[in-house]
Copies of this chain bind each other. A is one copy, B any other.
Amino acid sequence: MANFGGHAIPGSFFLLLGFWLTVKYVLQHYWRTNQPKGRQITPPFFKKMEYFEGGFQIFAAFVGIMVEQFVVDGPHAHLFNKDGNPWVKLMNWQHSTMYLFFGIAGIALVASNVSKLVPAGVDRLTISLALFVEGFLFYFHVHNRPHLDAHIHSLLLAAVFCGSASAMLEVFIRDNIILEMLRGGLFILQGSWFYQIGFVLYPPSGKQWDLEEHSNVMFVTMCFCWHIAVALLLVTCTFSLVWFTVKRFSARGRDIEIGMRNTSSKSNSQKALLEESDEE
């Protein structure tokens, strides 16, 4: 991971996840506010989104673990050997561990949609746990690095732990649009900050930053605040865009629900209806 690409890949992943969550929760919020009070049946379209999200998380985590393990200079699933150095490629093992927990969060998301047995909130708990583990491992990762390097990673930790706390709150306060947007925004912030770390530590232009210069530390701190402002702006724009797009479509198709049902293919509509009637 010690290059620009190694920070751009997780950055892109988190940006994508952040936008996905924002769009998903805006759609759900639109649905909730436009629903007559008596009916609380979520359309199968939302379930499909969550299956897709969970499935993608599981797939990405699996690929991530495989790549980290079986890349040319990877550990190839060996944890220790009999030679001098006791542990083989601990960095790759740590990244695999982080991916594992995002995979677990994906499994929990799928499971909580498949079965009503899974208590509501388990998906939030596991994503909170995945972020916690990510931050926890990063925290001991950062040790003994140059000043700017340690500082820029500890700012990442701020985003990670806030995301974890926000997801944990959602276990108890459900369907709160502000918390949902906050979580989406914190993923976007995390993603954009991964890119920033890449640009600072491995500048594609080639001009190295002075990692011990105090003014660089001060600039990076301020830059983090700008990323917060940009994440806020992006969430707001996404919210407005999705809201007004759905409003126009739902007005044209007369009913958002009908519009959404049509997107689900005819073939499994029978099954979807059955599932729907299982919902509480």
Residues of A within 8 A of B (CB): 29, 85-87, 90, 93-94, 97, 100-101, 104, 117, 119, 121-122, 125-126, 129, 133, 136-137, 140, 144, 171-173, 176-178, 181-182, 210, 213-219, 221-222, 225-226, 228-229, 232, 240, 243
What is the chain B residue whose CB lies nearest that of A117?
A: B243
Residues of B with C-beta under 8 A to A216: 86-87
Given known A122-B178, A216-B86, contact A97–B140 (CB-CB < 8 A): no
From known contacts A173-B172, A178-B121, infer whether A213 and B136 are also in contact, taking CB-CB under 8 Å: no
User: Copies per complex?
Assistant: 4
Give chain B residues whose Cβ lies under 8 Å from the Cβ of A104.
229, 232
Residue pair B133, A228 in contact (C-beta under 8 Å) = yes
For the residues of A in contact with B, the DSSP-based class is helix
Q: Is B86 within 8 A of A215, CB to CB? A: yes
10 CB contacts below 8 A, A to B, read: A29-B119, A86-B210, A87-B216, A90-B218, A90-B219, A93-B222, A101-B225, A119-B177, A140-B218, A172-B176
Contact B215 A87, beta carbon cutoff 8 Å: yes
Query: A225–B173 contact, CB under 8 A?
Result: no
- Per the bound structure, the CA–CA distance linking A93 and B219 in Å amounts to 9
* Alpha-carbon distance A229/B213, docked complex (angstroms): 40
